[in-house]
Amino acid sequence: MYSQADQTPVERSNTIKLHDEAAFAGMRAAGKLAAECLDMLVPHMVPGAITDDLDKMAREFVLDHGALPACLFYRGYTKTLCISTNHVVCHGIPSPKTLKTGDIANVDVTVIVDGWHGDTSRMFAIGEIKRRAQLLIDTTYEALMIGIKEVKPGATLGCIGAAIQEYAEARRYSVVRDFCGHGLGRVFHDAPNVLHYGNKGEGTELREGMFFTIEPMLNFGKPSVKILSDGWTAVTRDKSLSAQFEHSIGVTATGAEIFTLSPAGLHNPTA
């Protein structure tokens, strides 16, 4: 079920890797750079911005800091960022398209620093956005933070999912089922799968030294998604608005350490 990460091959495994203090230090550096990359983008997330230009800015920022963009050439993906606007749930591909006033956009970046992965995403408001869009964004951010609050040794993955699901559904949003959070560390997508719905007390027990992401996607309408013919872009089937936030965290003796906190305090740049 669990294995000591430093005695386990650097590859996706079915055991959940447990990491030591040196690994926490590695994740702190990776998480910080990923968050700083999103901080850097904040002033550029404006009407008229070309999403490919934002991607180039992020790629150069990551490379200039001696890191690697994890998504670039990952499973055939050719960009540094995923930029997912409006009814795009996740994995939107940067392109010559521009951002428009009133759009809501998720930007997701993963960097590799000294072999460690920092994976984070936030929502951005492009100019003035509708009040209902703002409420969806704020609820999704709170859902992420409420999930993180559940994290401590002895709690289970189900406690995280249940907390997120209850919070979202009480506000009449739906939780996307087709994508989940994931273990990470020296591996980008590792065990366990971190579902954003579930039942308290069910699923794998959390232990000190586990690293994983929590990245809930909430929809204004129904939860179902489809993948466009580019093989990546996931959209809501009913075209309803979707929002997502993501942090990479480590389980400590008493709770969670968030590796991807924004040094500039821009955790929800729309707020």
By CB under 6 A, tell whether 39 contacts ligand MF3.
no
Let me know: does 139 contact 245? Beta carbons within 8 Å.
no
Let me know: does 121 contact 245? Beta carbons within 8 Å.
yes
Neighbour order of strands in the sheet with 88-90: 88-90, 234-236, 225-227
Element (H, E) at 108: strand 104-113
Which one of 68-76, 122-130, 164-172, 235-243 is the stretch in contact with ligand MF3 (CB under 6 A)? 68-76
At a CB cut-off of 8 Å and minimum separation 6, what does 63 contact? 69
Grouping H, G, I as helix, E, B as strand and the rest as coil, residue 95 is coil
Residue 256 CB, shortest distance to ligand MF3, in Å, is 17
Grouping H, G, I as helix, E, B as strand and the rest as coil, residue 251 is strand
x/- letters, 101..140, toward ligand MF3 (CB under 6 A): -------x-x--------x---------------------
- Residue 77: contacted member of ligand MF3, Co ion, none (CB under 5 to 8 Å, by partner type): ligand MF3
- Residue 36: contacted member of Co ion, ligand MF3, none (CB under 5 to 8 Å, by partner type): none
Among positions 77, 152, 166, 224, the unique one binding ligand MF3 when judged by CB under 6 A:
77
By CB under 6 A, tell whether 19 contacts ligand MF3.
no
Position of tokens 């929502």? 123
Among positions 8, 51, 85, 213, the unique one binding Co ion when judged by CB under 5 A:
213
Q: Segment 221-240, which members bind ligand MF3 (CB under 6 A)? A: 232
Residue 78 CB, shortest distance to ligand MF3, in Å, is 9
By CB under 5 A, tell whether 80 contacts Co ion.
no
- Residue 91: contacted member of Co ion, ligand MF3, none (CB under 5 to 8 Å, by partner type): ligand MF3
Among positions 55, 150, 246, 257, the unique one binding ligand MF3 when judged by CB under 6 A:
246
Grouping H, G, I as helix, E, B as strand and the rest as coil, residue 179 is coil
At a CB cut-off of 8 Å and minimum separation 6, what does 229 contact? none
- Residue 103: contacted member of ligand MF3, Co ion, none (CB under 5 to 8 Å, by partner type): none
In 3D space, the residue among 190, 142, 134, 149 whose CA is nearest the CA of residue 170 turns out to be 142
CA distance 199 to 196: 10
Give the CA radius of gyration of the chain.
17
Provide the binding-site residues for ligand MF3, judged by CB under 6 A: 71, 74-75, 77, 82, 91, 108, 110, 119, 215, 232, 246
